[in-house]
Amino acid sequence: MKQGNMKARGRLGPGAMYHMMMLPGILFLLVFSYVPMVGIITAFQDYIPAKGMFGSEFVGLKHFTYMFKLPDIAQVVSNTLVIAIGKILLGTMMAIIFSVLLNEIRVKYVKKSVQTIVYLPHFLSWVVLASVVVNMFSLDGIVNQMLAFFGLENINFLGSNTWFQPLIIGTDVWKEFGYSSIVYLAAITSIDPGLYEAAGMDGASWWRKVWHITLPGMLPIILLMGVMSLTNILSAGFDQVYNLYNPVVYESGDILDTYVYRIGLVGRQYSFGTAVGLFKSVIGIVLLMSANQLAKKYTDRKIF
């Protein structure tokens, strides 16, 4: 009898145990991810902290109609898109070019050292790198000294609405191109070397080999990464922008996340901020679903 019991328990065992293992993590997710989702109700209220979520008055879509009437929001969405798309396009191009060039480096210690250096900025926080960028691009920084050397006019990169977006895009590419190239380098090394030998025998030049073998060989991974980056299209990089911008360049530098932070959190317009945040999340998830469909269709992989 006792043994039969144990057996039964043993058979029941794994399943129950699996649930037990999931429990702590799921509880954390429920509290810290799902409760805030319920908190989205705030966007449809005039939230007053003292009254709480259940005591505050419901106002329907008031904050959304207000949001779409503000000239701010069009500007902020357009800044977000320009910065994010710029980063995706330039960053991908740069990473691809770099991986193709790096693959040509045959001297092992040069290759290793270069990799060690170019991956480094990825691991540093924008808090740290913002100081580096300010140091380089401020009015008396090295970049302006170089401009002066060539007889060009000084540029106030950090205080100019013309230059702020290119600065954000450029410095992000600088931080990430090395690290992003890892995936592409892996893709190149998996290309059949026989193809290069055959092309070499036919007298193909380096350019032609890159164009007709390397790039087509990388295409699936390029497409996959491209599709995946669609998910970032509304996240233009809070950390970077927040650490580099200032009121003079709000016009060109404000992105959805910094806007929500500044207006909603610092300005304590909790309901309005939540509404803008929800706007972002909803568009984000629609893009993600489309990206997933695209990935399935063109790369026979799914993102999730």
Partner 1 sequence: MSYSANFKERIGRFVIYAIVIMLALICLLPLWNIVAISFSSSEAVSANAVGLVPVNFTTAAYTKIIDDAQFWRSFGISVLRVALALVLNMILIILMAYPLSKSKREFKGRNIYMNIMIFAMLFSGGMIPTYLLIKNLDMLNTIWALVLPGAVPIFSVILVMNFFSAVPKALEEAAFIDGANPLQVLFKVYVPVSIPALATVALFSIVGTWNDFFSGLIYMTKVSNYPLMTYIQSLNVNIADLLQAGTNSSELSNLTEISNKNLNAAKIVVAVIPLLLIYPLLQKYFVTGIVVGSVKE
Site for partner 1 in 258-297 (CB under 8 A): 260-261, 264-265, 270, 273-274, 277-278, 280-281, 284-285, 288
List the one residue from 48, 61, 74, 105 that touches partner 1 (CB under 8 A): 105
User: Which of 146, 165, 295 has its CA nearest to residue 226?
Assistant: 295
Q: How many helices (H) and strands (E) does the chain have?
A: 16, 2
Which one, 99 or 165, has the nearer CB to partner 1? 99
Q: Cβ distance 160 to 107 under 8 Å?
A: no
List the one residue from 73, 81, 82, 182 that touches partner 1 (CB under 8 A): 182
33-72 residues in contact with partner 1 (CB under 8 A) are 33-40, 42, 49, 52-53
Q: How many residues does the chain have?
A: 304
Please give the Cα distance from 299 to 304 (Å, whole number): 13
9-28 residues in contact with partner 1 (CB under 8 A) are 13-15, 17-19, 21-22, 24-26, 28
Q: Cβ distance 158 to 246 under 8 Å?
A: yes
One-letter amino acid for residue 132 of the chain:
V
Residue 273: CB minimum distance to partner 1, A: 5
Which one, 38 or 201, has the nearer CB to partner 1? 38
Please give the Cα distance from 170 to 90 (Å, whole number): 8
CB within 8 Å of 41: residues ≥ 6 apart: 53
Which one, 165 or 292, has the nearer CB to partner 1? 292
Residue 182: CB minimum distance to partner 1, A: 5
235-254 residues in contact with partner 1 (CB under 8 A) are 238-239, 243-248
